[in-house]
Amino acid sequence: MHGGYVTVFIGSVLFAVMYVWFRARKIKNRYLEFVNVKDFLPPLKALSDDATVPKYCSHLIYLTSADYPSQMESKIFYSVFQKQPKRADVYWFVHVDVVDEPYTLEYTVTPLIPGDVFRVDFMLGFRVPPRINLYFKKVVENMAANNEVDTVSRYESLNKQNVSGDFRFVVIEKFLSFENELPFIEKLIMDGYFFLKSVSLKEGREFGLDTSSVSIEKFPLILIPPKDVNLKRVYE
């Protein structure tokens, strides 16, 4: 009898966790903002060529959930241009798609600006470990061998020594901003979701990224901003 209560309790907890996770992702996706990649390609190229901006790294990589190469989350470009201008020689956007065939391990490359900006789409079977760090290195090696991208450092002193440029992943971790006017139930669900995120596997480790080459950025998730703030200036 006691075992039956335990089973029911565990089942109820698992159901609650799955419900919160599912509903929270639905709420997030409802307000997720995508932008047209083409609008940001000229500014990316301009930033890459701007010697007045300190170089962040040679190769800058972002993980994207956008399904199509023509789209990108607005938060990524916010990170590149506004969070801290991130000048790099080459920009990469990586998308991971888990497919039904259990052992699929394939990828495609979309040159957004040949030699300077690329999108890589991985198609991984659900039984394939998501070792994105390893797979990405293989992709870059193959592209360098085909003269699609130059991986040698563009610093003059290092270039003469044929030293490879450095690679850095930027992982954006979202948190629920106080600047939201969510309905009570949705706020409760989102609070539960971010609590679960805090105790689960971090996104960098989830995708098998080497922590030595990963930068974590916090991004405020604003789903429903306040419509009006009755703030008045008082003159003394």
Tens-digit pLDDT profile for residues 143-200: 999 999 999 888 888 888 888 889 999 988 777 667 666 777 777 777 777 777 666 6
Q: Where are the domains of the chain?
A: 34-171
Report the percentage of the chain scoring pLDDT > 70.
81
Question: What does the alpha-carbon distance between residue 12 and residue 158 come to, in Å, rounded to a whole number?
Answer: 59
Tens-digit pLDDT profile for residues 80-123: 998 789 999 999 999 999 999 999 999 999 999 999 999 999 99
Q: 186 is written with which tokens? A: 């949705």
Tens-digit pLDDT profile for residues 61-70: 999 988 899 9
C-beta neighbour count of 69 within 10 angstroms: 18
Nearest to 77 by CA among 35, 120, 31, 119: 35
CA atoms lying within 13 Å on the CB side of residue 88: 28
